[in-house]
C-alpha cells in the first residue's frame, strides 16, 4: 500500500521563526514529489521535486528531496501570518495519480 506521512500534524510558531515540515513516503512507483499550500480553498502549487539533493527555492520557502531515505522537507524562513495554512505533500505515483499526505497545519502568530 502506498503511504505518504507528514509530520508534525500541526504546529504553532511566532512570526519570524523558521519551520521545517517533513514528508516521508513509501510507494511502489515514484515519479515526483510535490508540495502544496492549502488555505481555505483548493491547494496551490509550491514545488515539484524529482531529483535528490537539489534544493528548490521560492522566496522564503525552500524544499529538498532525498530519494535514498525517501523523504522531503519544506522550510519556511522568517515566517509571516500569511504563511498560516495546511501544507500538503503529494507523491506522483504514475500517470499523475497522486497520493497525498494528511497535511501539516501551520499557525503563525503575530
Partner 1 sequence: GAVVSQHPSRVICKSGTSVKIECRSLDFQATTMFWYRQFPKQSLMLMATSNEGSKATYEQGVEKDKFLINHASLTLSTLTVTSAHPEDSSFYICSARDGKETQYFGPGTRLLVL
Which chain residues interact with partner 1 by CB under 8 A?
A: 31-32, 34, 36, 41-45, 48, 88, 90, 92, 95-103
DSSP strand pairing (56-58 vs 3-7): unpaired
CB 16 to partner 1: min, Å: 28
- Closest to partner 1 by CB, 12 or 102: 102
- Closest to partner 1 by CB, 2 or 17: 2
CB 31 to partner 1: min, Å: 8
- Closest to partner 1 by CB, 12 or 78: 12
CB 59 to partner 1: min, Å: 15
Q: How far is CA 7 from CA 59, 94, 95, 110, in A?
A: 23, 24, 26, 23
Q: What is the DSSP letter of 108?
A: E
DSSP strand pairing (32-38 vs 85-94): antiparallel
- Closest to partner 1 by CB, 39 or 55: 39
d(CA 13, CA 84): 10
CB 78 to partner 1: min, Å: 24
- Per the listing, cell 525552500 goes with 62
Amino acid at each position: 500500500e502506498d503511504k505518504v506521512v507528514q509530520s508534525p500534524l500541526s504546529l504553532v510558531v511566532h512570526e519570524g521563526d523558521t519551520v521545517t515540515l517533513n514528508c516521508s513516503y513509501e510507494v511502489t512507483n515514484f515519479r515526483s514529489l510535490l508540495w502544496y499550500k492549502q488555505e481555505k480553498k483548493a491547494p496551490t502549487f509550491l514545488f515539484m521535486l524529482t531529483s535528490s539533493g537539489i534544493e528548490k527555492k521560492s522566496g522564503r520557502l525552500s524544499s529538498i528531496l532525498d530519494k535514498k531515505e525517501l523523504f522531503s522537507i519544506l522550510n519556511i524562513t522568517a515566517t509571516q501570518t500569511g504563511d498560516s495554512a495546511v501544507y500538503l505533500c503529494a507523491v506522483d505515483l504514475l500517470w499523475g495519480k497522486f497520493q497525498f499526505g494528511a497535511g501539516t497545519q501551520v499557525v503563525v502568530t503575530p
